[in-house]
Copies of this chain bind each other. A is one copy, B any other.
Amino acid sequence: MKKSPAALIAEKRDGKEHSADDIHALIQGFLDGDIADYQMSAWLMASYLRGLSQGEMLALTEAMLDSGRRLERGRAETLRVDKHSTGGVGDKVSLPLAPLVAACGLQVPMISGRGLGHTGGTLDKLESIPGFSVNISQARSRRILDRVGFVMMGQTRDIAPADRRIYALRDVTATVACEPLIVASILSKKLAETLDGLVLDVKVGRGAFMKDEKAARSLARSLVDVSQTSGTPAVALLSNMDTPLGTSIGNTLEVKESIAILRGTGPADTTELTIELGAQMLLLGKVTTSLVNARRRLRQALTSGYALERFAQMVELQGGDARVVDDLSLLPQARHRLLVKSPKAGTVSDIDPLALAHLSLDLGSGRKRASDKIDPGVGIELKAQLGDRVAQGELLAVIWSQDRSALHVQRAQAAFRVGRARPENPRLILSHRIVGKSLSR
Chain A residues with CB under 8 Å of chain B are: 5-7, 9-10, 13, 36-42, 44-46, 48-50, 169, 171-175
CB-based contact B49/A172 at 8 Å: no
Q: Do B39 and A173 touch across chains, with their CB atoms under 8 A apart?
A: yes
- When distances are taken between beta carbons in the complex, the residues of chain B under 8 Å from A174 are 6-7, 9-10, 13, 42, 46
Least Cβ distance of A200 to chain B in Å? 26
For A9, give the chain B residue with the smallest CB separation: B174
Copies of the chain in the assembly: 2
The chain B residue sitting closest to A12, CB to CB, is B174
Identify the closest chain B residue to A176 (Cβ). B6
**Majority secondary structure of chain A interface residues (helix, strand, loop or mixed):** helix
Cβ B172 vs Cβ A36 within 8 A: yes
Contact A6 B38 (CB under 8 A): no
The CA of A45 and the CA of B48, in the complex, are separated in Å by 10
Question: With a CB–CB cut-off of 8 A, which chain B residues contact A6?
Answer: 171-174
Contact residues in B for A38 (Cβ distance below 8 Å) = 36-38, 40-41, 169, 172-173
Residue in contact with A46 in the complex, picked from B36, B40, B49, B169, CB distance below 8 Å = B49
Q: Does B49 lie within 8 Å of A173, measured CB to CB? A: no
Which residue of chain B is the closest to A49 with respect to CB atoms? B49
Docked complex Cα distance between A38 and B173 (Å): 7
**B residues near A39, Cβ cutoff 8 Å:** 41, 172-173
Report the bound CA distance from A37 to B38 in whole Å.
Answer: 6
Most buried by B among A37, A44, A45, A172: A45
Q: How far, in Å, is A369 (CB) from chain B's closest CB?
A: 10
> Which B residues touch A48, using CB under 8 A?
13
Residues of B contacting A5 in the complex (Cβ-Cβ under 8 angstroms)? 172
**Max chain B CB contacts within 10 Å: which of A9, A172, A174?**
A174
B residues near A40, Cβ cutoff 8 Å: 38
**Distance of A39 Cα from B45 Cα, bound (Å):** 10
Bound: A20/B13 CA distance, A: 26
Q: Which residue of B lies closest to A4 (CB)?
A: B172
When distances are taken between beta carbons in the complex, the residues of chain B under 8 Å from A44 are 42
Assembled-state Cα–Cα distance A145/B173 (Å): 45
The CB with the most chain B CB atoms within 10 A, among A10, A37, A38, A42, is that of A42
Residues of B within 8 A of A45 (CB): 9, 13, 41-42, 45-46, 49
Name A40's closest neighbour in chain B (CB-CB): B38
